[in-house]
Amino acid sequence: MPEVLRDEAAVLSIAAAAPMLGQVEAWARVNSGSANLEGLARMADLLAGAFAKLPGEVRLLDPAPVEAMEADGSLKPVAHGRNLHLRVRPEAPVQVLLTGHMDTVYGADHPFQRLEWLGAKMLRGPGVADMKGGLAVMLAALTALESWEERERIGYEVVINSDEEVGSPGSAALIADAARGKRAALTYEPSALPDGTLAGARPGSGNFSLHVRGRSAHAGRNPEEGRNALVAAADLALRLDAAKRPGLSVNPARIDGGGPNNVVPDHAVLRINMRPAAPADQDEASAALHEAIAAVSAARDVRINMHGGFGRPPKPLDAGAEKLFDLVRRCGAELGQPIAWQASGGVCDGNNIAACGVPVVDTMGVRGGAIHSADEYLIVESLAERAQLSALVLMRLALGEEL
């Protein structure tokens, strides 16, 4: 790897000087919980204005239709916010994808809504690390890249979705389409650890709602004529729990249903999450799910309808991903930033991108910690660090770094 060249150094200086902290503070003051459509609309407009400084047309695209199963087993439409899309230089020889999300896990009624400084180096606040800090880093790196005299070598697509924290149901197709034909992808989730360690391999994740339909009867007069859907759902949960093993975690999370004590319940809905470590584990998880449904249906004389699927495919580290991680590591070394990576139990849009056959590093965002809690914080100096890291990786990809 060559040392940082003079023109690269100029780009890196621009990246580090970007007004990222002010952007994070302004964006984190906007509640953009995944279900807060008003807040997401405001956030989308703010991001559209910020990313409009880049060449190309910023578009705010409607999400794909999404349905969720209610407690009574019916399907109900679920609304999500618009998704930001930008394409720059699609004719360039090297094409990359950059993704992030504008939604957070903190709803409009969540008590964690305020920014607070923790000394001079850390800022606590909703979404400062996950991932409004990452969005500022992405924008700073791309803005700096546009000052580079070799920028015509590289084109890029940007997708910032509004539903990542709930599995990206309305934006998965947009991400898959944007990933097509890309040399590499960078996603701006925060680092896996506060020291900057990246997330490497990730398991997949599937969320399922299983509607059990039994038959009601009087609990005292003729219970034998009933088919207890609640008991069948519990049986289903136990069978699926027994399917967990190394490489596959299974979490029966909730049962909705039941009714008065003197009535055999005729419906119940089991909610379950399954996390396979590898594609073969996902195949076995699907088989276990269908086997359990068939067994309980026969044993309990009930009907079971399934809704959901594996929205996040497993993300093992393949050869292409290892080369991209190594490029990030070498760029970090040139910048005095030690870069390591480790497997993570969490999932993100990087899973979906990797499933498209595109090498991805999905923790290019800020250093911080305590995400998804009321103690979430950003290490402020990491804004400049990570903006420079992204800018250098993009320039080296443009110059023909092989993956």
Q: Which residue spans of the chain are classified as CATH 3.40.630.10?
A: 6-202+315-398
**pLDDT attached to residue 141:** 99
Arch. (CATH architecture) of 205-312: 2-Layer Sandwich (3.30)
pLDDT tens-digit readout, 238-253: 999 999 999 999 999 9
**pLDDT attached to residue 280:** 97
Answer yes or no: is pLDDT of 130 > 80: yes
pLDDT tens-digit readout, 68-108: 999 999 999 999 999 999 999 999 999 999 999 999 999 99
Q: What is the mean pLDDT of residues 134-150?
A: 98
Both tokens of 68, joined, read 């969720």
**pLDDT attached to residue 402:** 83
pLDDT-derived band at 403, boundaries 50, 70, 90: confident
What three-state secondary structure class fits 229? helix
Mean pLDDT computed over every residue of the chain: 97
In this structure, what DSSP letter does residue 183 have? S
Q: What is the mean pLDDT of residues 259-282?
A: 97
Q: Which residue spans of the chain are classified as CATH 3.30.70.360?
A: 205-312
| pTM of the complete model beyond 0.75 | yes
**pLDDT attached to residue 6:** 85
**pLDDT attached to residue 2:** 52
CA R_g for the chain:
23
Query: Is the previous residue joined to 131 through a cis bond, with omega within 30 degrees of 0?
Result: yes
Answer yes or no: is pLDDT of 58 > 50: yes
pLDDT tens-digit readout, 158-216: 999 999 999 999 999 999 999 999 999 999 999 999 999 999 999 999 999 999 999 99
Q: What is the mean pLDDT of residues 123-148?
A: 98
In this structure, what DSSP letter does residue 278 have? S
pLDDT tens-digit readout, 336-347: 999 999 999 999
Q: Are 392 and 14 in contact (CB under 8 A)?
A: no
Answer yes or no: is pLDDT of 3 > 80: no
**pLDDT attached to residue 5:** 81
Distance CA 253, CA 219 (A): 27
pLDDT-derived band at 4, boundaries 50, 70, 90: confident
**pLDDT attached to residue 338:** 97
Nearest to 129 by CA among 105, 109, 145: 105
Read out DSSP for 47-106?
A: HHHHHTTSSS-EEEEPPPP-EEE-TTS-EEE-----EEEEEE-TTSSEEEEEEEE--BS-
- Fold that domain 6-202+315-398 belongs to in CATH: Aminopeptidase (3.40.630)
* Residue 278 CB contacts under 8 Å (≥ 6 apart), including other chains: 247, 314, 316
pLDDT tens-digit readout, 311-323: 999 999 999 999 9
Q: What is the mean pLDDT of residues 21-34?
A: 98
**Residue type at 9?**
A
Answer yes or no: is pLDDT of 1 > 50: no
